[in-house]
Structure 1
């Protein structure tokens, strides 16, 4: 499949427009050299709509669009639990976690760990997150993005990866988080419009041109197993999504870790004008998450009927783009690239924030603000170059990259969640207890992976969380050690939320109940 000249023109116009707007936003209202608050936290002035849009643009990338569509092709609607449970998780983060972070006025997640525990915990977790962002997240986004460009245009995947990295640098490196967050509004509009249009055309094609509703009915009738939200034990994909555990087990741990303690996600909320504004943005993002399966999972299911003989599930979404007419194909391709580059920009900005503020500034504490901003830009470039070099060797052999990412990060997320939750809500938690949870998470996960391989990884995450929690509590009580707690006492933190946030939460719960009741 190749793009028509009109499609290419539309795509080039999109690239030029986005870069121009990003540079205009970066320079608008700005005088003199940038400081770290301006570059890394958009001067703490983001409105709710920019926060919500940027949260989704940062989250929805190649690993979601390509990877989750591939999982939709392989196992069906059940993969949507990652999206729908995330909506509720976002609201919990907005109510219980975000007030603590904003009260402590932090730049990064490692900075909070230093305030609550000590420099050892901060440094270990900072190095861990840098490694994961570069060698898992950035590599996955670049690799899947390169494959998508190759499938849609025929351009070599390596050239596609280089283009994505260059595009990301062109619009985000100068302006930092402010440029990323405000241009994400354009990205999300394009992503949602293009995704919904592709889903409509996919369903219409399934019905033979008789409309999307008829197509959905046909799809449900022809592929009933692909519309089971709760998989039974005899389902061959049970190992990936183990039944009721997706509602009450380890998926909660993974979602809380991702949406609550993941720097490149939570950084948008940390840059809000106020707590109320951040909570509105999170509620907006939650409702966008409810919509995402229609955009990223449904096309993958439709591809089972339209392209039944794909070599790999991750080819489903790029193949579906061939359904688009000339002109709109370029628009949907632009939406796909928009999702990819927005995540790349967000990840590299967060890598530079953590490295600069948590590691480099500690080693060289008396440099100018301009020096730290320049360092952050160099780190962003270095992270992208590293990811370009290692992407194919690390991910080239996997058919479902989304599942690989979830399983790999599942080794560490239980310990991360334990470290933060006991640090926030249990005053006796110690640095030694936090370190034991971090080390125990990897050790327990690897041991269970080796000695109990048939245990679904979602269940393993839940079990390791309980083991790490017990270990951290035990070590904290027996070997308290030195803990320098400079964080805000939560008795001074208000967890009350406004009426609009509360109404949004109730509405989200009702929608989720209806969805799971329909496709139980």
Structure 2
């Protein structure tokens, strides 16, 4: 075990602190039992700063901390578009989506589908989301978290991988299952502080390391930029950058699509209609607090590439051949190589922590990593149990369920979901970039679902049949691009383009079927008004600042 006693003490102390906070918040106050609103929406009591912190803690998990660092290693700074464009997406969600969700008094995103379309479509999408959380999100977070701990604490050969996965799962389970969203959200406030501080410390020491005798983070940053200036480009051209495995990076991040293309499909779906993200805003004290929380999260998103992308680029520079400045696969540390001999980019961040972080601080960095992993696990467990309880159990099996029954079912379903993910997680070892895996395979289903929501929100004439057919037909459209052979009648295009085309195609299908069904206003249509979307001057000023900073970042790193 390559970790000092002081690091173990720091790490364990942090875990005890988080567990204590979670259990304290989870207690039944004044002897009162938890209601469903207490358990699933934290009693709708969260202030803006707790909403914003919890959004970031839920978002920055192992798939970002480890997976996006791996993509930074493979693709460079351009992968930061997922973060910087998300900041703008959060503003859109705050102004145009959240007012409708709050007005409808939602517990879950599938509940909106029922109110706008039908119970049948809600059930279909609820089952889909549960499957996505269990088989994709929970499994990848568990695997990447366990892999990171195996590399940092162990030898990186997988000897403690399963032990690490089980430990992380039990830690998240310990407070989230009992306390519900309140325990998750309030511990997230602490977790996001530790996460950001630990992330900045990792980047700082990595830059100090590459600065050599200068012992200066600024000189280290200049050295990294001067060594690989092409990896600081935000808008990639074909053939500009190749990943360590020899793939043209343009296929992952195709030019202007990161600004005006398919990235909007991924971001609007994730931030606007993703249960474990939007659930925090539904738990806000009121609409204004929820909107301020989203703006706060947008500002934090602008900072995140500093400690989730830049470390990956630094790791890439550190393993370049010192004599030639070239990337040589044979000189890679063994922890970077998968079982099949391919390069495992996702080991960049764990390898960096193990290599350059000094004794004493390694425990803090481990704590920040655990914060990222456990907060997201807890969020996904809670959201899975919320959807199952409210949209499956109560809707289909027990319409008169009491608060006690719903809380009990929520705990049981959350436990079962995590156990399934525990079994599947170790099977992900053959993937090179898990972050890209998540984006691509979520991208098969997210465009169709996004189209259904957008048409449901803003097109009064969309019908239930049109929405159902839109969701169904969006899958073969997406799969056509992904699995069809390349020939004269098939098109091989980047998955960002695939998502955009699939979303537009689904919108056309929904419009066409709605037109054929009479083209009349649906009685369940959302009534929109100018007042519904009005925002405070403080929100408008803050949103303008976020836009201004984002434009500056893209202009600087063009």
Q: Which range, TM-score by smaller chain? A: over 0.9
Match of 2:540 among 483, 502, 514: 502
Measure how far apart 1:489 and its partner are.
1.7
Q: How does 1:278-293 map to 2 (within 5 A)?
A: 278-293=290-305
Displacement of 1:265 in angstroms is 0.0
- The change in CA–CA distance for 1:222 and 1:328 in structure 2 (over 3 A counts) is same
Cα separation, 1, equivalents of 2:115 and 2:305: 38
Tell me how far apart the structure 2 counterparts of residues 400 and 353 of structure 1 sit (CA, whole Å). Answer: 30
Q: Indicate conservation of the 8 Å contact 1:63/1:140, yes or no.
A: yes
For residues 502 and 481 of structure 1, what CA distance do their matches in structure 2 show? Answer: 36
TM superposition shift of 1:33? 1.6
Instruction: Sort the Cα spacing of 1:128 and 1:160 in 2 relative to 1 into closer, same or farther, 3 A.
Output: same
The answer on 1:410 being equivalent to 2:440 is no
How far the C-alpha of 1:488 sits from its partner, in A, is: 4.9
Q: TM-score, normalised by structure 2?
A: 0.91
**Is residue 68–residue 435 contact of structure 2 (8 Å, CA) maintained in 1?**
yes
1:28: Cα distance to partner? 6.7
Deviation at 1:454, TM superposition (A): 2.9
Aligned match for 1:379, one of 390, 393, 413: 413
- The answer on 1:191 being equivalent to 2:225 is no
Q: Distance in 1 between matches of 2:281 and 2:346?
A: 31
Mapped to 1, the partners of 2:285 and 2:195 lie a distance apart of 26
1:229 aligns with 2:234: yes
Runs ≥4 in structure 1, deviation > 4 angstroms? 480-488
Pick from 268, 280, 284 the counterpart of residue 272 of structure 1.
Answer: 284
469 and 223 in structure 1: CA distance in 2 versus 1, 3 angstrom threshold: same
Specify every segment of 5 or more residues in structure 2 that has no aligned partner in the other structure, as ranges.
Answer: 241-247, 321-331, 338-343, 485-489
Measured in 1, the distance between the counterparts of 2:370 and 2:521 equals 45
The CA distance in 1 between the partners of 2:546 and 2:28, in whole Å, is 37
Q: What's the offset of the Cα at 1:481?
A: 11
Cα deviation for residue 209 of structure 1 reads: 4.4
- Other-structure match for 1:20: 20
Whole-angstrom CA distance in 1 between matches of 2:441 and 2:358: 38
- Is residue 454 of structure 1 aligned with residue 454 of structure 2? no
**Shift in Å, 1:367:** 2.4
Q: Deviations over 1:72-107 (max 9, x none)?
A: 001100000000000000011000000000000010
**1:389 is the counterpart of 2:423:** yes
Contact between 2:77 and 2:310, CA under 8 Å: does it hold in 1? yes
Shift of residue 493 of structure 1?
5.7
Q: What is the distance in 2 between the residues matched to 1:206 and 1:171?
A: 40
Paired with 1:244 and 1:266, the residues of 2 have a C-alpha distance of 28
Q: Residue 77 of structure 2 aligns with which residue?
A: 77
Report the CA distance between 1:487 and its aligned residue: 6.4
Alpha-carbon offset, residue 491 of structure 1: 2.8
Deviation at 1:486, TM superposition (A): 4.6
What does 1:229-268 correspond to in 2, within 5 Å? 229-235=234-240, 236-268=248-280
Matched, 1:172 2:176: yes
Q: Which residue of structure 2 aligns with residue 204 of structure 1?
A: 208
Deviation at 1:32, TM superposition (A): 1.9
> How far apart, in 1, do the equivalents of 2:544 and 2:401 lie?
48
Question: 2:312 is matched with which residue: 277, 280, 300?
Answer: 300
- In structure 2, how many angstroms separate the alpha carbons of the residues matched to 1:485 and 1:169? 42
Whether the 8 Å CA contact 1:431–1:483 is kept in 2: the answer is: no
Contact 1:104 1:487 in 2 (8 A): no
Which residue of structure 1 lines up, in the alignment, with residue 514 of structure 2? 476
| Equivalent residue in structure 1 for 2:163, among 148, 159, 166 | 159
Query: Is the CA contact 2:461–2:520 (under 8 Å) kept in the aligned structure 1?
Result: no
Question: Equivalent residue for 1:352?
Answer: 385
Q: TM-score, normalized by length of structure 1?
A: 0.97
Instruction: Quote how far apart the aligned CAs of 1:482 are.
Output: 12
What is the SS of the residue equivalent to 1:396? helix
**1:431·1:480 contact (CA, 8 Å) conserved in 2?**
no
The CA deviation string for residues 397-439 of structure 1, in whole angstroms up to 9 with x for no partner, is 1010000000000001111111111101111011111112211
Relative to 1, partners in 2 of residues 1:61 and 1:480: Cα closer, same or farther, differing over 3 Å? farther
Q: 1:97/1:30 Cα in 2 relative to 1: closer, same or farther (>3 Å)?
A: farther
Give deviations 1:338-380, integer Å, cap 9, x for gaps: 1100000000100000000001002111222101100000011
* 1:304-362 deviation per Cα after TM superposition (whole angstroms, max 9, x unaligned): 12245232110000111121111110000010011100000000100000000001002
Counterparts of 1:281 and 1:93, CA distance in 2: 11
Q: Provide, for residues 199-239 of structure 1, a one-character-per-residue CA deviation record: whole Å limited to 9, x for no partner.
A: 01111111114211111111111011211100001231100
How many correspondences in the alignment? Answer: 519
Alpha-carbon distance in structure 2 between the residues aligned to 1:342 and 1:359: 25
Contact kept in structure 2, 1:117 and 1:483, CA below 8 Å = no
2:48 matches 1:48? yes
Distance of 2:235 and 2:105 partners within structure 1: 41
1:215 aligns with 2:231: no
CA–CA distance in structure 1, aligned partners of residues 195 and 33 of structure 2: 34
| Whole-Å separation in 2 of the counterparts to 1:196 and 1:373 | 38
Distance in 2 (alpha carbons) for counterparts of 1:101 and 1:177:
18
Superposed displacement of residue 479, structure 1: 3.1
Supply the RMSD in Å over aligned alpha carbons: 1.6
Following superposition, the deviation at residue 453 of structure 1 comes to 6.1
Q: Structure 1 stretch 448-457 or stretch 214-223: which is displaced more?
A: 448-457
2:244 alignment partner in structure 1: none
CA gap 1:365/1:456 in 2 versus in 1, 3 angstroms: same
Give the whole-Å Cα distance in 2 for the aligned partners of 1:425 and 1:444: 23
**CA shift at 1:476, angstroms?**
1.2
